[in-house]
Amino acid sequence: MRIVFMGTPDFSVPTLKALVEAGHDVAAVVTQPDKPKGRGKEMQMTPVKVQALEYKIPVYQPAKVRDQAFIQVLREMDADVFVVIAFGQILPKDVLELPRYGCVNIHASLLPKYRGAAPIQWCVIDGEKETGITTMMMDVGLDTGDMLEKVVIPIGDKETGGSLHDKLSLAGGSLILSTLRKLEEGTAVRTPQTEEGTCYAKMLTKSLGDIDWNQDARSIERLIRGLNPWPSAYTMWNGRTIKIWAADVLADGNPGDGLPCGGVALSDRHCLAVRTGQGLLSIKELQMEGKKRMDIETFLRGYPIPAGDVFVNRTQQ
């Protein structure tokens, strides 16, 4: 099939690779404009652009895909289908109607659950046991089009946002080949989405990682995993920010009575246990501001946090 591919971050790259390696004619890649990054503010290409240039595929980077001049460029490509995955712009009706078979989106959840910008991380934060990839026909709504195919991926007890991202990214590359084959053969089955069971995965912000120690230990542990590696969960200690990368629920109930939530109930060479609104949380990996990530033993050698000290969230500073 003659394809226009639209995608931007690392998550999109395995799908582009799968299409090319399967022999599809990827006529063009559309991705977000280069952006300045890092302290030097040097312009950086998107991961999809880097991969497309390796394949010598023409790359387009419109600031606004809805501009009529660019829509005409897309029209002249005469594509069979547009494949869209984590592109970063909403496609207008004029674009959706261009390709023969329509526009197929690869979404990182089992729709209609977790429509929106951050389905991977919210599945972990919410304690879901499984998620997956859905291919769907795009319409003018946000992740509301008819579903085509799904693949289910289990979520492990220690799954992080990062590890689940990588699994789903690879799964998307495999599923799109099956979906395109069925579209071309005329055997694809379109299943309309219902509004029953829908939920919205809102965009992640750095403030989401500000740990509220009044929550229960299990919810905080899931937040830590879901926001690893970005934007990361963090807390404040003596006016300094500490990122927390991994933790275990040490006990349910209310041990550490007499301590406020966020109080350090146990601190020795091997353990840093913090009281929460329900249960103790044992911190396993953390990072002092301006320093590298460390396991708990290494961290406590450099920063011996005593029992009785209190972690607070940034709004309490």
> Which amino acid, one-letter code, is at 304?
P
Residue 168: how many other CB atoms lie within 10 Å: 25
How far apart (Å, rounded) are the C-alpha atoms in residues 261 and 280? 10
Dihedral sign, Cα of residue 16, residue 20, residue 24, residue 25? positive
- Under DSSP, the state recorded for 210 is B
How far separated are the first and last CA of the chain, in Å rounded? 57
Strand partners, 288: 242
Residue 109 annotated as lining a ligand binding site: yes
In Å, what is the CA distance from 263 to each residue of 81, 97, 259?
56, 58, 5
Reduced 3-state DSSP string for 142-192: CCCCCEEEEEEEECCCCCCHHHHHHHHHHHHHHHHHHHHHHHHHCCCCCEC
Residue closest to 287 by CA, chosen among 297, 275, 299, 269: 299
Residues 6+ apart with CB under 8 A from 137: 102, 103, 104, 105, 145, 146, 148, 190
Quote the distance between the C-alpha of residue 97 and its chain's center.
Answer: 28
Residue 111 annotated as lining a ligand binding site: yes
Strand partners, 235: 242
Residue 14 annotated as lining a ligand binding site: no
Residue 141 φ/ψ, nearest 5 degrees: -80, 175
Quote the distance between the C-alpha of residue 87 and its chain's center.
Answer: 13
What residue numbers does the annotated binding site for (6S)-5,6,7,8-tetrahydrofolate cover?
A: 109-112
Binding site residues, as ranges? 109-112
